[in-house]
Amino acid sequence: MSKQLSLVKSTVVPVNIENIDTDQIIPARFLKATTRDGFGKNLFRDWRFNNDDENQPKPDFPLNNPKYHGKILVAAKNFGCGSSREHAAWAIKDYGFDVVVSSFFADIFKNNALNNFLLPVVVSDAFLNKIFSAVEKDVNAEIEVSLPEQYIKILATGEQESFDINNYKKTCLLNGYDDIDYLLSIKQDIEEFEHAS
């Protein structure tokens, strides 16, 4: 897993479906592993293959369409709803994505993504539609996502939008820190809190 994120410039894989739940991202029967590795091959498993068979890909699904590739996954609103399984974020990252763009993310998924250096970028409905249109027009349309400057830009048209991320998480992503590093650094505060309550 690449720890650290900054500028991502890439073509995108568009999945224009609303309410994509984490059971679709990684079905429960693939959650039996005891390590974090290898979930990418089962990303969107039941949308990618007929009869659970890797030899029967569904040609209509964007991940199976060779013309779509890149490090940025773009999906319609309420992405990552449902189960809290972090395996969903692991699967997306392991498949090769560094950024997921949607107009709305489920809360737990968003945290899980951030904890795995997968950047969830929230854009307006209008901007999301612009991305889908740009890719429809040209599958090689590139998107640039800058974490330091907090913007997302459609390079072909120059249209861009800024996105929110809290400063703490931004610092973590830029520097490769995680929450445990931080929490261990304030262990004394935690112990004092325990004594006081």
Partner 1 sequence: MGLSLFEKIWNKHVVKEIEGGPSVLYIDTHFIHEVTSPQAFKGLEKRGLPVFRPKQVVATADHNVPTINQHLPIKEELSRIQVQTLKDNCEKFGIELYGLGHPYQGIVHVIGPELGITQPGMTIVCGDSHTSTHGAFGTMAFGIGTSEVEMVLATQCLMQSKPKLMRINVEGELNKGVVSKDIILYIISLISASGATGYAVEYAGSAIRSLSMEARMTICNMSIEMGARCGMIAPDDITFDYIKGREFAPAGEKWDDALAYWKTLYSDADAKFDKEININAADIEPMITYGTNPGMGIGVSGHVPALSEIDEKEKPSFEKSLHYMGLQPGANIKGKKVDYVFIGSCTNSRIEDLRMVASFVKGKQKADGVEVWIVPGSKQVEQQAKNEGIDKIFEEAGFMLRQPGCSACLGMNEDKIPAGKYCISTSNRNFEGRQGPNARTFLASPLSAAAAAITGEVTDVREMIP
Which residues of this chain interact with partner 1, rule CB under 8 A?
16-19, 21, 23-24, 27-29, 31-36, 46, 52, 76-78, 81-87, 89, 104, 106-108, 111-112, 115-116, 166-169, 178-180, 182-184, 186-187, 189-190, 193-194, 197
Which residue, 33 or 155, has its beta carbon nearer to partner 1?
A: 33
In the complex, what is the shortest distance from the CB of residue 158 to partner 1, in angstroms, rounded to a whole number?
Answer: 26
| Nearest partner of 25 among 63, 55, 70, judged by Cα | 63
- Cα 75-81-84 angle, rounded to 5 deg: 125
In the complex, what is the shortest distance from the CB of residue 54 to partner 1, in angstroms, rounded to a whole number?
Answer: 14
83, 106 Cβ separation under 8 angstroms: no
Which residue, 158 or 195, has its beta carbon nearer to partner 1?
A: 195
In the complex, what is the shortest distance from the CB of residue 9 to partner 1, in angstroms, rounded to a whole number?
Answer: 27
Which residue, 148 or 182, has its beta carbon nearer to partner 1?
A: 182
In the complex, what is the shortest distance from the CB of residue 95 to partner 1, in angstroms, rounded to a whole number?
Answer: 18
In the complex, what is the shortest distance from the CB of residue 86 to partner 1, in angstroms, rounded to a whole number?
Answer: 4
Which residue, 66 or 180, has its beta carbon nearer to partner 1?
A: 180
138, 155 Cβ separation under 8 angstroms: no
